[in-house]
Chain A
Amino acid sequence: MSEKKWPETWQEVNPGCMVFRPGSAAAYHTGSWRAMRPIWDNVKCIKCGVCYIYCPEGCVTEDADGFFEANLDYCKGCGICAHECWPGAIKMVNEED
């Protein structure tokens, strides 16, 4: 298995196009697709984990204090967490601000 990012000639393609590194899609950062960014307000947060369970990317993680934050390398800014957070602790802000 080569350490190159992708095969350069057809001879380097694995038989059956097999991929030997599980979860290697994580090398691609989908965060660049984002137009809006979620911001957590930890005063309002009740640590219920709704944002964590509903994130299609699986990029929301719990920190040591039990609060949640998004990994902005992967967050596509869909806004599900902000829409589903019933205490209203998550706000979507423009990426440029």
Chain B
Amino acid sequence: MNTAMNHPKSIIENFDLYAPKLVSKEEFFSPGHRACQGCGEALAIRLMCKALGKDTVITNATGCMEVISSLYPTTAWTLPWIHVAFPNAAAVGSGVEAGLTALRRKGKIADRRVKSVAIGGDGGTMDIGFQALSGAMERGHDMLYVCFDNEAYMNTGIQRSSGTPFLASTSTAPAGKKIPGNQVWKKNMAEIMVAHNLPYVATASPSYPLDFMKKVKKARRIKGPSYIHCLVTCPTGWRSASETCIKLGRLSLETGIFPLYEVEDGKYRLTVEVPEKRRPVQDYVKGQGRFRHLTPDQIQVIQERVDIEWETLMIKVNCSKSREELRAVREK
């Protein structure tokens, strides 16, 4: 006998709890890839592929995911997959989409919708691949870009990127006696993508797998460019225990550091509820070796910034209107 049998009603009451059972059992990212133990990024890729399903072409910028999944002569992918250089994942992704459209028009391939998906790490998206991404989004290709943000160049040895949070210790921004780690605040990539007037922008985390998969499915359905920013845990670079991978993602939401929201046609909406009384940043920081050097004063500085960002987001969530709504008002 188990809990579910003792409380038969609870299966319906706790539908979310049992929802993982309903997820498709098909795997498109095969086991045997060489990711570190407890890699949040490998988990996110696995969930993303599940949500995308067949009829997808994946373009992968250089980064951890390319290195661990495709050690020649083997590959972990069972979807069509192409590896490109660091800066041009979005450019190649848009080319794949244009090529498929042309082949379909000429009748060389079956007339069905194949989604072009470009993926990259935070370095390949926020620093190196930024102009290609901006261009692809501006041209309005029917593609999805997913950024897997693990907050540094983990693949080459934890160098800081523009996704690295304030005061995190990395190998190129080490914490010393004078300078306590990275001196710049994290770039808010999702907001930059919102400014491109995309039909769909979302932030996600594999700690909330069903929410993440729902967003990927939604982005797949949308005709036009869409962007998902996914915060993933890196036990190696964050200097955290491998089993706390999921917990850290959850804490990043509960502290308000990385709220999960989606922007549909200009309208902000929180997708995962954040507790009324947010947890202190201290809880998130203490489990990670990259923040080990922080003093209470420095944590207070981060806390203030997180509070301000959170309030800014809440204003957007409460006051923003979709372009459809604004247009309807004008027509009256």
Contact = CB atoms under 8 A, between A and B. Distances in A.
Interface in B169-203: none
B20 A23 contact: no
Contact of B75 (A19, A47, A71): A19
Ranked nearest first, the 8 interchain pairs of A and B with the lowest CB-CB distance are A79-B243, A78-B38, A49-B20, A23-B30, A74-B31, A25-B76, A25-B32, A53-B20
Interface of A: 5-7, 17, 19, 21-30, 33, 43-50, 52-59, 62, 71, 73-74, 76-80, 82-84, 87
B264 to A, nearest CB: 25
B169 to A, nearest CB: 23
Nearest to B79: A22
13 contacts: A22-B75, A22-B78, A25-B30, A25-B33, A27-B32, A33-B37, A44-B2, A48-B21, A52-B20, A53-B47, A59-B31, A73-B31, A78-B242
By size class, the interface of chain B is: 35 or more
B42 interface: yes
A86 B285 CA distance: 23
Contacts, number: 133
A80 B72 contact: no
B132 interface: no
B74 to A, nearest CB: 4
Contact of B73 (A24, A48, A59, A76): A24
Contacts of A17: 72
A22 B49 CA distance: 14
B246 A28 contact: no
A30 B31 contact: yes
